[in-house]
A and B are shown apart, each in its own frame.
Chain A
C-alpha cells in the first residue's frame, strides 16, 4: 500500500488541461491538410497518390471539379509531397469533428489549360447538408439532457483496432475523460452515446443495429475515424458497407486514422453541446 501511494505521489499530476488550454501537439504531427485552391496549378498528382480517394478530380472538357473529403482522409501526407506547386500543406490542426458530413467536403471548380493544368479558379465551396437546420432543434433538447453527464457505449463495427487504441487512451491519466463526467459503460442499455468505429462490415451490420435499438432514447451516434465516416481505405466492397451512416443516423463525425485522443474529446464534447457553452 505504501509503495502504491509513494509511486503516485512521486509521479504527480499528469493530466492535460485540454480543452481549457490548447493541446501540446508536436510540429511533426500530421493533422489536417489545407489547400491553396487559388494557387493550385494541378490537382491530379495529389489525387493520383491519395490512398483513399479523399482527393478526387473530375474533368469535363476544359472544366475541372476537385473534391476534397476529410471524411476519407487518412492523414498520410502524400498529397503534400505529390505536387510541385506546394498548394497542399499539412497542418497541425486536429479539431476536425463536425455535425455535418457536408462540412468535411470541399469542392473547387477550375477552368483548364489545354495540357490539363489549372488555369483559373472559378469557385470553391463547402458542401452543406440540407437537413442541417431541421436537426438543430432536436440537438438542443438532447444537450439539455446529456450535457452534464454522459455514458458512452463504444461499438467496433469492423475497425482495425486503431481507433479503439485511442479511445482507450481517453481513459488514461493523461486525457482522463471522467473529469468531464463522461463514462464508458458496458451495456448499450446504460448508454446515451454510441461511439462507432469501423467501416461497418457485413458481419457486424446486424449487431450494430441491435445495439442501436437497445440504446434508450434520447441518444446520439458518433462515427469515428475515416472508416466510420466513409469506409476509409476499405471503402465499399462485398464485405464492407462503407461507413456508419449507411446504417444509422449519425450526429457527429470525427475524422482521423485514427483520430488522436484530443480529436475524440473535441468530437464527443461537440456532440453533447459542451463546446458552444464554453465559447
Chain B
C-alpha cells in the first residue's frame, strides 16, 4: 500500500474557500489547519473519502477567555503517514453548537456527546443526543468549562432516570446487570434484551467511575499530573504515563535520551504481555477451563514480580517521568530480564499447548462473539479487538515513539473477529513482544536516563499516541504558565471499542457474554475518566 498524503492547504482552500482559514503549526507529529466556522462535514467527508483518512478523536477546548471561542479539534491519521492531521474549529459562545458527524461517522458518537456534557456545546443532528458522560440526574453543569470550579459541590446522586430502549415482543425479556457485578471487575450497567437464550440487543450505561480526571489535569503541576495519568487505567499505568509524558516532551521540545527511550520500550512491552497473558487465562476461565487460568495467572505473577524488581512497583508505577524515566537501568537488569523472558517463554508455550489441546475450549471460543471487519471499520474499532477484525492499526508502527523504530515486529491481523481470534491476536503479540524484549537485551543501554529538567513553556499544544496493550491511547495537552496545564484530553482505546461489544454479542447466548466481554477486556476507568 502506498503512503497517503493529506491535502495541502492550497488544495483545501480551492475546494472549501474561506472556510479554510490558515495553516497552523506543523511538526513531525502533527499538522494543524485552522477552520473558519463550525461546519466541517464537507472537509471531513473529503478527508475520509479521498485521502483514506481515519478519525482518531474529537475533543473540545474552552478558549473563551483567551480567544473568545470554544474550539473543537478533529484529529485524523492516514495509513503510512506518521503525521496526525488536526482541524481546529471555532465555536462561537453565542451559538454553543456544531453540526454532528455521528450519523455518518458512528465512531465519534460518544465523543461528541462528551463535548455536549462537559462543555455544553450542542451536537446538532446527533442521532442520539442524550447524555453519556454525566448521568441523567446531574444538574445542568459543564465541568470542563473554565468558569466551572473543580471543587464545585453538586447535589447527591439520587438514582438514574435513564430510559433504556424498550425491548418488545412475545417472550422478550430485559435483563439488567450491574453496576456492581458478580466478578472482581469495574462498574458499568448492561441492559440485555433477550429472547430465550439469545441476546437481541445490548445497551450500555458507562461513566460510573467518572472522577473528573480531565478537569483535575488542569489543577495539578505537570510532575504531579504524571501520577494522575498513571491512574487513568490501572492496568495501563505505564502506557498512559508514557503517553502523557511524551505529550509534555513534545510540547516543551524536550529531547529524551536514547537510554530512557529503550527503557520505556521494554516496560511498555512488559505491560503488554502481563495483561495479555492474564486475559488469555481469563478467557479460558470464562469457558470453564480454570486450570489454564491457574497457569496464566502464575505467569502474570512472574511478570509483575519482574516489574517490581526493575521499577519498584508491580504495575510499573512511579517509573516514567517527563524527560525520561526516574531511575537508571541497572547493569544487572538485562540479565534479570533475559532470564525471566526465557522462563516465561517456555511456560507460555506450555500454556498455549494446554489450551490448544482442549477441544471444548476451542469449540466455545470459535464463532463466538463475531465482529465483522466492515462493522469494525464503521465503528472505528482499534487495538486487539480491531486487529482480530481486519483493522490493521498499531501506533508502534504507524507513529513510532520510544525506541520502536529500532525494532521490526509483526502485527497480527485476522479477519474472523471471533473470541478465538481475539485470543490469537494476544498470543501472537506476546510472542512478538518476547522477541522485542530479547532484542532489547542484546544491546547495552548507556547514557542518561532522564533529560535535564527545565520550565515548560506556556501555551504549547502537543498530541501524543501510545499503543497500549488494549490499543491506541491518545493524550493531547495545552501547556499553561507555571508548569501547569490548560487542558489535557485523554482518549483510552476503550472509548472506541465499547460499541464493538454491543455489536459482537448480538445473537449470542447470554451465557457467552462474560467471555465475549473478556475477549475485549475494556477499561471502564479509562472510558469514564
| Residue positions of A touching B, CB distance < 8 A | 3-4, 7-8, 10-11, 14, 26, 28-30, 49, 51-52, 74-77, 154-169, 171-174, 184, 186-188, 198-199, 201-207, 211, 227, 232-234, 236-240, 257-258, 260
Q: Which residues of B contact A159 (CB under 8 A)?
A: 186, 209, 234, 525
Interchain residue pairs with CB less than 8 A apart (20): A3-B357, A30-B313, A51-B227, A76-B227, A76-B318, A77-B312, A156-B524, A158-B211, A158-B525, A161-B235, A164-B184, A164-B186, A165-B234, A169-B301, A173-B298, A174-B297, A207-B180, A233-B216, A233-B228, A238-B154
State whether A233 touches B227 (Cβ < 8 A).
yes
* Partner among B154, B182, B232, B317 whose Cβ is within 8 Å of the Cβ of A257: B317
Closest 9 CB pairs of A and B: A162-B234, A186-B182, A172-B297, A161-B234, A239-B212, A51-B224, A160-B234, A51-B227, A76-B318
Q: Which residues of B contact A202 (CB under 8 A)?
A: 154, 156-157, 210
Q: Which residues of A contact B183 (CB under 8 A)?
A: 186
B172 at the interface (CB under 8 A from A): no
Q: Which residues of A contact B227 (CB under 8 A)?
A: 51-52, 74, 76, 233
State whether A7 touches B237 (Cβ < 8 A).
no
State whether B354 touches A239 (Cβ < 8 A).
no
Q: Which residues of A contact B150 (CB under 8 A)?
A: 237-238
Taken together as a complex, chains A and B put the C-alpha atoms of A174 and B224 apart, in Å, by 34
B91 at the interface (CB under 8 A from A): no
Q: Which residues of A contact B300 (CB under 8 A)?
A: 169, 172
Q: Which residue of A lies closest to B189 (CB)?
A: A207
State whether A234 touches B185 (Cβ < 8 A).
no
State whether B318 touches A77 (Cβ < 8 A).
yes
Taken together as a complex, chains A and B put the C-alpha atoms of A164 and B223 apart, in Å, by 26
Given A238-B150, A238-B215: A207 in contact with B187 (beta carbons within 8 A): yes
Q: Which residues of B contact A169 (CB under 8 A)?
A: 297, 300-301, 304
State whether B185 touches A239 (Cβ < 8 A).
no
B144 to nearest A CB, angstroms? 11
Q: Which residue of A lies closest to B186 (CB)?
A: A156
Q: Which residue of B lies closest to A48 (CB)?
A: B221
State whether A158 touches B318 (Cβ < 8 A).
no
Q: Which residue of A lies closest to B291 (CB)?
A: A4
Q: Which residues of B contact A156 (CB under 8 A)?
A: 185-187, 209, 524
State whether A198 touches B231 (Cβ < 8 A).
no
Q: Which residue of A lies closest to B237 (CB)?
A: A162
Taken together as a complex, chains A and B put the C-alpha atoms of A227 and B213 apart, in Å, by 13
Taken together as a complex, chains A and B put the C-alpha atoms of A65 and B458 apart, in Å, by 34
State whether B153 touches A238 (Cβ < 8 A).
yes
Q: Which residues of A contact B226 (CB under 8 A)?
A: 51
| Residue positions of B touching A, CB distance < 8 A | 135, 141, 143, 148, 150-154, 156-159, 179-180, 182-187, 207-213, 215-216, 220, 223-224, 226-228, 231-235, 237, 291, 294-295, 297-298, 300-301, 304-305, 308-315, 317-318, 350, 353-354, 357, 523-525, 528
Q: Which residues of B contact A161 (CB under 8 A)?
A: 186, 233-235, 523-525
Given A161-B234, A236-B151: A3 in contact with B184 (beta carbons within 8 A): no
Q: Which residues of A contact B159 (CB under 8 A)?
A: 206
Taken together as a complex, chains A and B put the C-alpha atoms of A242 and B37 apart, in Å, by 41
Q: Which residues of A contact B237 (CB under 8 A)?
A: 162
Given A202-B154, A258-B315: A160 in contact with B525 (beta carbons within 8 A): yes
Q: Which residues of B contact A76 (CB under 8 A)?
A: 227, 317-318
A266 to nearest B CB, angstroms? 16
Given A159-B525, A234-B216, A239-B211: A167 in contact with B184 (beta carbons within 8 A): yes
State whether A173 touches B179 (Cβ < 8 A).
no
Taken together as a complex, chains A and B put the C-alpha atoms of A23 and B411 apart, in Å, by 40
Interface centre among B143, B180, B184, B231 (most CB of A within 10 A): B184
Taken together as a complex, chains A and B put the C-alpha atoms of A188 and B181 apart, in Å, by 10
Taken together as a complex, chains A and B put the C-alpha atoms of A79 and B311 apart, in Å, by 17
Q: Which residues of A contact B223 (CB under 8 A)?
A: 49, 51
Q: Which residues of A contact B231 (CB under 8 A)?
A: 160, 162, 227, 232-234, 257
Taken together as a complex, chains A and B put the C-alpha atoms of A26 and B312 apart, in Å, by 8
Taken together as a complex, chains A and B put the C-alpha atoms of A196 and B152 apart, in Å, by 25
State whether A207 touches B216 (Cβ < 8 A).
no
Q: Which residues of A contact B528 (CB under 8 A)?
A: 201
State whether B210 touches A28 (Cβ < 8 A).
no
State whether B180 touches A188 (Cβ < 8 A).
yes
State whether B350 touches A164 (Cβ < 8 A).
no
State whether A237 touches B209 (Cβ < 8 A).
no
Q: Which residues of A contact B152 (CB under 8 A)?
A: 238
16 extra A-B contacts, CB within 8 A, seeds A160-B233, A233-B231: A3-B353, A4-B291, A7-B295, A11-B298, A49-B223, A75-B313, A154-B184, A155-B180, A158-B187, A160-B231, A161-B235, A164-B184, A169-B304, A173-B298, A188-B180, A238-B154
